[in-house]
């Protein structure tokens, strides 16, 4: 905790934070980032449920934007791995039973996951993710079995800031450092973020 007897440091911090929030919603076109940032400065520490529609795009990314080690796993790789495994199990079971089947698989929670979507990078950074896939598969010969899938991604993380990480361009890093100082001044508080995306639909033949 920083000592701020006259409140001037807190006042200056809030001023920079206000400018950061404006930049998020205007110049950066990152509305979800702005919502989480504002909640951080509301100082409640209450858990925050992330918009399912926002997560729909956030959790399908084939790349990620963090250059430093350890490199995060792109969200799309986690989602695709879960889907492929569920399709494989459902198709095999439908062929074994010679009947249409439904198989649901929830994958493990994976830490150090990230997206390349700009709003997602700024809002969530690195986080923990899992996917759940439900597949309905029909019987048939190998290579001729139809399947349909519904999948949702899940996230959880602690929303906070670290100082002087040098992960961002100059102005963004200044904003990150200021947000970290806001916590130390007692005018901002970390909180748990969580959420489940709206469903993704897919189909195919295997």
For residue 1, being part of any structural domain is answered with no
ω into 113 cis (within 30 of 0): no
Helix (H) or strand (E) holding 158, with range, is strand 146-159
- The total of structural domains in the chain comes to 1
For residue 3, being part of any structural domain is answered with no
For residue 2, being part of any structural domain is answered with no
Whole-prediction pTM value? Answer: 0.88
For residue 18, the enclosing domain spans: 8-205
Q: Which residue has the tokens 């899992």?
A: 130
- Span 152-201, pLDDT tens digits: 999 999 999 987 666 666 667 788 889 999 999 999 999 999 999 999 99
**Residue spans of alpha helices (H) in 26-70:** 31-42, 52-58
- Span 120-154, pLDDT tens digits: 988 999 999 999 999 999 999 989 999 999 999 99
Nearby residues of 44 by Cβ (< 8 Å), 6 or more positions away: 189, 191
Question: Helix or strand or coil: residue 115?
Answer: coil
For residue 60, being part of any structural domain is answered with yes
Helices H / strands E in the chain, number of each: 6, 8
For residue 109, being part of any structural domain is answered with yes
Dihedral Cα 45, 46, 51, 57, nearest 10 deg: 40
pLDDT class of 50 with cuts at 50, 70, 90:
very high
Tokens of 162: 């670290």
Residue 78 and residue 62 in contact, taking contact as beta carbons nearer than 8 Å? no
pLDDT at 25: 86
């Amino acid at each position: 905790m920083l000592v701020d007897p006259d409140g001037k440091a807190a006042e200056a911090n809030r001023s920079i934070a206000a400018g950061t929030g404006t930049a998020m919603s205007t110049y950066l076109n990152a509305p979800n980032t702005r919502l989480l940032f504002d909640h951080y400065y509301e100082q409640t520490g209450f858990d925050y449920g992330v918009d399912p529609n926002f997560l729909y795009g956030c959790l399908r990314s084939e790349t990620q934007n963090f250059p430093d080690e350890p490199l995060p796993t792109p969200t799309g790789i986690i989602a695709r791995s879960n889907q492929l495994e569920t399709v494989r199990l459902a198709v095999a079971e439908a062929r074994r039973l010679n009947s249409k089947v439904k198989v649901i698989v929830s994958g493990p929670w994976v830490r150090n996951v990230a997206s390349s979507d700009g709003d997602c990078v700024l809002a969530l950074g690195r986080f923990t993710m899992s996917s759940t896939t439900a597949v309905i598969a029909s019987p048939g010969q190998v290579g001729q079995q139809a399947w349909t899938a519904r999948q949702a991604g899940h996230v959880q993380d602690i929303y906070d800031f670290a100082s002087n990480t040098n992960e961002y361009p100059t102005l963004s890093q200044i904003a990150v450092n200021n947000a970290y100082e806001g916590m130390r001044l007692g005018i901002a508080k970390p909180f748990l973020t969580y959420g489940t995306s709206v469903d993704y639909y897919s189909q195919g033949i295997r």
